[in-house]
Amino acid sequence: MKELQFANYGQMKDLNCTEDELVMYDLLRSLTDASDLEFVRRSDSYVTAAIGDTDVARFKFTPRAKWIMFPYQTNTKYKIASPEDVNEYAQEAVDAVETARKING
């Protein structure tokens, strides 16, 4: 007999982030001046800076993967070398915050 398995779609997960990912989140919050920006994990593959249910930025910074993306802006993964490289995407971050706020009303 097969055992039933249930997926965790849409449920919040433990943040479990790296120090560098925490730095990236802090930089995003500072660049956008968005006090409503939350740091969450919705996926096993990356962490998310979000406003409400809308992802402003998804990012990962581990020894094997270093990237950031703005899914409602370009949906392109930008490869980065250090957490501070987030500064290069300040305008994308600001635009993504504005989009998230419009979506969330």
Give the model's confidence band at 6: pLDDT under 50 very low, under 70 low, under 90 confident, else very high: very low
Asked whether the predicted pLDDT for residue 15 surpasses 90, the reply is no
Is the separation of the CB atoms in 72 and 97 below 8 Å? no
What tens digit of pLDDT does each residue of 64-99 get?
999 999 999 988 999 999 999 999 999 999 999 999
Calculate the alpha carbon distances from 82 to 2, 21, 26, 88 in Å. 46, 10, 14, 11
Other beta carbons within 10 Å of 36: 14
For the entire predicted model, the pTM comes to 0.84
